[in-house]
Amino acid sequence: MPRVALAKMHHTERARAILSDARDMLGGNGILLDHHVARHLCDIEAIDTYEGTDTVQALIVGRDITGYSAFVSVAPSH
């Protein structure tokens, strides 16, 4: 699981950086759907949100490396 989390975190981060650069290179046209960059930016946002944010992925990787969980279980209150 930690390797999967690390891969998701890395590849999502790289895809966002590449798409951001592509948008910047196209200037104002980068936000138009004609060039598909805006659509791909929306897609990568959905993937980042759906697959878990990079923060959650980093917590999973950190737990594997250190052995300490940053997730706190909360007992239900009555």
| Catalytically active residues, by annotation | 51
In order of 32, 57, 62, the CA distances from 1 in angstroms are: 37, 10, 12
Rg over CA atoms, the chain? 17
Residue pair 61/5 in contact (Cβ under 8 Å)? The answer is yes
